[in-house]
Amino acid sequence: MMILKTTIVPDGTTRPGTGILLPRRIIITGASGALGGTLARIRAAPDTALLLWGRDERRLALTAAACRSAGADVQTLSIDLSDIAAMLAAIAAADTEAPIDEALLVAGQGDTAAPGARAEDALQVARLGIVNFAAPAALAAALADRMVARGQGRIVLIGSAAGFHALPFAPAYAGSKAGLARFADALRLAVAGQGVQVTLVSPGFIDWPGGGRQIPRALLMPLPQAARLVLAAADAGRAHAIFPWPFAVLRLVDRLLPRWLSDRLLLALKPQ
Protein backbone atom coordinates (compact mmCIF):
# COMPACT_ATOMS: atom_id res chain seq x y z
CA MET A 1 0.00 0.00 0.00
CA MET A 2 1.40 3.39 -0.98
CA ILE A 3 0.86 6.33 1.32
CA LEU A 4 1.55 9.89 0.19
CA LYS A 5 1.82 12.92 2.46
CA THR A 6 -1.54 13.12 4.19
CA THR A 7 -3.30 15.06 6.90
CA ILE A 8 -6.24 13.22 8.48
CA VAL A 9 -9.17 15.19 9.81
CA PRO A 10 -11.53 13.80 12.50
CA ASP A 11 -13.89 12.13 10.06
CA GLY A 12 -11.02 10.06 8.66
CA THR A 13 -10.86 11.81 5.29
CA THR A 14 -8.04 14.01 3.98
CA ARG A 15 -7.78 17.76 3.60
CA PRO A 16 -7.80 18.85 -0.06
CA GLY A 17 -4.35 19.43 -1.43
CA THR A 18 -2.49 17.58 1.33
CA GLY A 19 -2.26 14.14 -0.21
CA ILE A 20 -4.05 10.80 -0.54
CA LEU A 21 -4.52 7.97 1.90
CA LEU A 22 -5.78 4.75 0.36
CA PRO A 23 -7.08 2.95 2.27
CA ARG A 24 -7.47 4.17 5.84
CA ARG A 25 -5.96 1.47 8.06
CA ILE A 26 -7.69 0.61 11.34
CA ILE A 27 -6.95 -2.02 13.98
CA ILE A 28 -9.72 -3.24 16.29
CA THR A 29 -8.96 -5.52 19.21
CA GLY A 30 -11.81 -7.53 20.66
CA ALA A 31 -13.35 -7.71 17.19
CA SER A 32 -14.89 -11.11 17.95
CA GLY A 33 -16.86 -9.53 20.79
CA ALA A 34 -20.14 -7.63 20.70
CA LEU A 35 -18.83 -4.06 20.83
CA GLY A 36 -15.67 -4.66 18.80
CA GLY A 37 -17.59 -6.50 16.09
CA THR A 38 -20.18 -3.73 15.86
CA LEU A 39 -17.47 -1.08 15.59
CA ALA A 40 -15.82 -3.07 12.80
CA ARG A 41 -19.06 -3.27 10.84
CA ILE A 42 -19.61 0.47 11.16
CA ARG A 43 -16.07 1.35 10.12
CA ALA A 44 -16.11 -1.10 7.17
CA ALA A 45 -16.04 0.74 3.84
CA PRO A 46 -14.38 0.37 0.43
CA ASP A 47 -11.62 2.85 1.35
CA THR A 48 -10.79 1.10 4.62
CA ALA A 49 -8.38 -1.67 5.60
CA LEU A 50 -9.40 -3.39 8.83
CA LEU A 51 -7.10 -5.41 11.05
CA LEU A 52 -9.43 -7.43 13.25
CA TRP A 53 -8.02 -9.13 16.35
CA GLY A 54 -10.05 -11.47 18.54
CA ARG A 55 -9.96 -14.72 20.50
CA ASP A 56 -13.08 -16.42 19.12
CA GLU A 57 -12.15 -17.55 15.59
CA ARG A 58 -15.73 -18.36 14.56
CA ARG A 59 -17.16 -14.99 15.55
CA LEU A 60 -14.10 -13.22 14.17
CA ALA A 61 -14.67 -14.89 10.80
CA LEU A 62 -18.33 -13.80 10.80
CA THR A 63 -17.36 -10.20 11.52
CA ALA A 64 -14.68 -10.29 8.83
CA ALA A 65 -17.15 -11.60 6.26
CA ALA A 66 -19.63 -8.83 7.06
CA CYS A 67 -16.89 -6.20 6.73
CA ARG A 68 -15.68 -7.60 3.44
CA SER A 69 -19.23 -7.52 2.09
CA ALA A 70 -19.21 -3.78 2.88
CA GLY A 71 -16.15 -3.40 0.67
CA ALA A 72 -13.41 -3.26 3.32
CA ASP A 73 -10.07 -4.99 2.97
CA VAL A 74 -9.86 -7.26 6.04
CA GLN A 75 -7.10 -9.14 7.82
CA THR A 76 -7.79 -11.18 10.94
CA LEU A 77 -5.64 -12.46 13.75
CA SER A 78 -6.73 -14.84 16.51
CA ILE A 79 -4.58 -13.76 19.44
CA ASP A 80 -4.54 -13.92 23.23
CA LEU A 81 -3.60 -10.46 24.45
CA SER A 82 -2.37 -11.86 27.76
CA ASP A 83 0.74 -12.93 25.81
CA ILE A 84 2.24 -9.44 25.85
CA ALA A 85 5.41 -10.33 23.92
CA ALA A 86 3.47 -11.96 21.07
CA MET A 87 1.00 -9.06 21.03
CA LEU A 88 3.74 -6.43 20.74
CA ALA A 89 5.49 -8.41 18.01
CA ALA A 90 2.21 -8.63 16.10
CA ILE A 91 1.46 -4.91 16.35
CA ALA A 92 4.99 -4.02 15.27
CA ALA A 93 4.68 -6.29 12.24
CA ALA A 94 1.27 -4.92 11.31
CA ASP A 95 2.33 -1.29 11.56
CA THR A 96 5.56 -1.93 9.69
CA GLU A 97 3.62 -3.56 6.85
CA ALA A 98 1.58 -0.37 6.49
CA PRO A 99 1.03 2.45 9.01
CA ILE A 100 -2.02 2.13 11.25
CA ASP A 101 -4.11 5.31 11.27
CA GLU A 102 -6.62 4.42 13.98
CA ALA A 103 -6.59 1.91 16.85
CA LEU A 104 -9.81 0.92 18.58
CA LEU A 105 -8.57 -0.98 21.63
CA VAL A 106 -11.77 -2.69 22.74
CA ALA A 107 -10.68 -6.09 24.07
CA GLY A 108 -11.28 -6.66 27.76
CA GLN A 109 -12.91 -8.99 30.24
CA GLY A 110 -15.38 -8.48 33.04
CA ASP A 111 -15.68 -10.63 36.14
CA THR A 112 -16.76 -10.43 39.75
CA ALA A 113 -15.80 -12.05 43.02
CA ALA A 114 -17.35 -15.46 43.64
CA PRO A 115 -20.55 -15.41 45.74
CA GLY A 116 -19.68 -15.51 49.43
CA ALA A 117 -15.95 -15.00 48.83
CA ARG A 118 -14.13 -12.69 51.23
CA ALA A 119 -11.85 -11.50 48.43
CA GLU A 120 -11.57 -11.95 44.70
CA ASP A 121 -9.57 -14.93 43.42
CA ALA A 122 -5.91 -13.94 43.09
CA LEU A 123 -5.47 -15.45 39.63
CA GLN A 124 -8.59 -13.65 38.43
CA VAL A 125 -7.15 -10.38 39.72
CA ALA A 126 -3.93 -10.99 37.78
CA ARG A 127 -5.81 -11.99 34.59
CA LEU A 128 -8.01 -8.90 34.58
CA GLY A 129 -5.03 -6.69 35.33
CA ILE A 130 -3.24 -8.02 32.26
CA VAL A 131 -6.17 -8.07 29.83
CA ASN A 132 -7.92 -4.86 30.91
CA PHE A 133 -4.91 -2.70 31.71
CA ALA A 134 -1.47 -4.02 30.79
CA ALA A 135 -2.34 -5.25 27.29
CA PRO A 136 -4.27 -2.20 25.98
CA ALA A 137 -1.84 0.20 27.66
CA ALA A 138 1.16 -1.55 26.09
CA LEU A 139 -0.54 -1.58 22.68
CA ALA A 140 -1.38 2.10 22.97
CA ALA A 141 2.18 2.94 23.99
CA ALA A 142 3.67 0.97 21.10
CA LEU A 143 1.35 2.61 18.58
CA ALA A 144 1.72 6.09 20.06
CA ASP A 145 5.48 5.91 19.63
CA ARG A 146 5.13 5.01 15.97
CA MET A 147 2.33 7.52 15.34
CA VAL A 148 4.31 10.36 16.90
CA ALA A 149 7.18 9.56 14.54
CA ARG A 150 4.72 9.95 11.62
CA GLY A 151 3.03 13.00 13.10
CA GLN A 152 -0.50 11.56 12.95
CA GLY A 153 -2.74 8.86 14.36
CA ARG A 154 -5.67 8.12 16.61
CA ILE A 155 -5.93 5.78 19.62
CA VAL A 156 -9.23 4.94 21.31
CA LEU A 157 -9.17 3.07 24.61
CA ILE A 158 -12.35 1.44 25.92
CA GLY A 159 -12.50 1.80 29.67
CA SER A 160 -15.58 1.49 31.86
CA ALA A 161 -17.74 3.64 34.11
CA ALA A 162 -16.84 1.04 36.76
CA GLY A 163 -13.33 2.48 36.79
CA PHE A 164 -14.57 5.49 38.74
CA HIS A 165 -16.09 3.51 41.60
CA ALA A 166 -14.63 1.17 44.23
CA LEU A 167 -16.91 -1.78 43.52
CA PRO A 168 -16.53 -4.30 46.36
CA PHE A 169 -17.96 -7.14 44.25
CA ALA A 170 -15.60 -6.46 41.30
CA PRO A 171 -12.39 -4.90 42.66
CA ALA A 172 -10.12 -6.28 39.93
CA TYR A 173 -12.38 -5.11 37.11
CA ALA A 174 -12.91 -1.66 38.62
CA GLY A 175 -9.22 -1.34 39.46
CA SER A 176 -7.99 -2.40 36.04
CA LYS A 177 -10.31 0.05 34.30
CA ALA A 178 -9.31 2.81 36.73
CA GLY A 179 -5.68 2.22 35.82
CA LEU A 180 -6.50 2.34 32.12
CA ALA A 181 -8.36 5.63 32.58
CA ARG A 182 -5.39 7.26 34.28
CA PHE A 183 -3.00 5.84 31.67
CA ALA A 184 -5.15 7.15 28.79
CA ASP A 185 -5.22 10.63 30.28
CA ALA A 186 -1.46 10.61 30.85
CA LEU A 187 -0.72 9.30 27.35
CA ARG A 188 -2.99 11.96 25.84
CA LEU A 189 -0.94 14.65 27.57
CA ALA A 190 2.35 12.99 26.64
CA VAL A 191 1.58 13.12 22.90
CA ALA A 192 -0.27 16.46 22.91
CA GLY A 193 0.71 18.67 20.02
CA GLN A 194 2.37 15.84 18.10
CA GLY A 195 -0.51 14.92 15.81
CA VAL A 196 -1.70 11.94 17.83
CA GLN A 197 -5.17 11.87 19.38
CA VAL A 198 -5.96 9.72 22.44
CA THR A 199 -9.60 9.19 23.44
CA LEU A 200 -10.90 7.30 26.46
CA VAL A 201 -14.47 5.99 26.33
CA SER A 202 -16.06 4.78 29.58
CA PRO A 203 -19.37 3.01 28.89
CA GLY A 204 -21.78 1.90 31.54
CA PHE A 205 -23.96 -1.13 30.87
CA ILE A 206 -24.31 -2.11 27.19
CA ASP A 207 -27.12 -4.37 26.02
CA TRP A 208 -26.45 -6.96 23.32
CA PRO A 209 -28.24 -10.12 22.14
CA GLY A 210 -27.63 -12.89 24.63
CA GLY A 211 -26.15 -10.53 27.20
CA GLY A 212 -28.78 -11.52 29.73
CA ARG A 213 -28.33 -8.42 31.85
CA GLN A 214 -30.95 -7.66 34.47
CA ILE A 215 -30.27 -3.93 34.51
CA PRO A 216 -32.73 -1.00 34.80
CA ARG A 217 -33.47 0.32 31.32
CA ALA A 218 -32.25 3.83 32.22
CA LEU A 219 -28.77 2.39 32.79
CA LEU A 220 -28.71 0.02 29.81
CA MET A 221 -27.68 1.24 26.36
CA PRO A 222 -28.41 -0.65 23.11
CA LEU A 223 -25.27 -1.98 21.45
CA PRO A 224 -25.60 -0.07 18.12
CA GLN A 225 -26.08 3.22 19.96
CA ALA A 226 -23.09 2.55 22.20
CA ALA A 227 -20.88 1.80 19.19
CA ARG A 228 -21.97 4.98 17.45
CA LEU A 229 -21.17 7.02 20.57
CA VAL A 230 -17.70 5.47 20.78
CA LEU A 231 -16.98 6.50 17.19
CA ALA A 232 -18.57 9.92 17.63
CA ALA A 233 -16.24 10.61 20.55
CA ALA A 234 -13.25 9.47 18.49
CA ASP A 235 -14.24 11.44 15.40
CA ALA A 236 -14.82 14.58 17.49
CA GLY A 237 -11.40 14.23 19.10
CA ARG A 238 -12.80 14.12 22.62
CA ALA A 239 -10.47 13.34 25.49
CA HIS A 240 -13.11 11.38 27.40
CA ALA A 241 -16.70 10.23 26.94
CA ILE A 242 -18.97 8.54 29.51
CA PHE A 243 -22.36 7.07 28.61
CA PRO A 244 -25.22 6.61 29.18
CA TRP A 245 -25.60 9.97 30.92
CA PRO A 246 -26.61 8.64 34.38
CA PHE A 247 -23.08 7.26 34.76
CA ALA A 248 -21.58 10.70 34.26
CA VAL A 249 -23.86 11.95 37.01
CA LEU A 250 -22.93 9.02 39.26
CA ARG A 251 -19.25 9.80 38.80
CA LEU A 252 -19.81 13.39 39.86
CA VAL A 253 -21.93 12.37 42.84
CA ASP A 254 -19.32 9.82 43.97
CA ARG A 255 -16.62 12.51 43.91
CA LEU A 256 -18.72 14.89 46.00
CA LEU A 257 -19.92 12.47 48.66
CA PRO A 258 -18.00 12.09 51.94
CA ARG A 259 -16.05 8.83 52.09
CA TRP A 260 -18.21 7.27 54.82
CA LEU A 261 -21.38 7.77 52.78
CA SER A 262 -19.78 6.61 49.52
CA ASP A 263 -18.50 3.47 51.27
CA ARG A 264 -21.93 2.74 52.69
CA LEU A 265 -23.62 3.05 49.32
CA LEU A 266 -21.04 0.88 47.55
CA LEU A 267 -21.25 -1.81 50.22
CA ALA A 268 -25.01 -1.88 49.75
CA LEU A 269 -24.40 -2.94 46.15
CA LYS A 270 -22.33 -5.97 47.11
CA PRO A 271 -24.28 -9.23 46.74
CA GLN A 272 -24.83 -10.93 50.08
Q: Is 81 exposed, middle or buried (0-12, 13-18, 19+ CB in 10 A)?
A: buried
Is the four-CA dihedral 188, 191, 193, 196 of positive or negative sign? negative
DSSP labels for 65-104? HHHHHTT-EEEEEE--TT-HHHHHHHHHHHHHHS---EEE
Instruction: Kindly report, residue by residue over 142-194, the tens digit of the pLDDT.
Output: 999 999 999 999 999 999 888 777 676 678 888 999 999 999 999 999 999 99
Classify residue 113 by its DSSP letter. P
pTM recorded for the entire structure = 0.82
- For residues 78 and 57, give the distance between their C-alpha atoms in angstroms, rounded to a whole number: 6
The model's confidence at residue 23, banded by pLDDT at 50, 70 and 90, is low
Instruction: Kindly report, residue by residue over 87-100, the tens digit of the pLDDT.
Output: 999 999 999 999 99
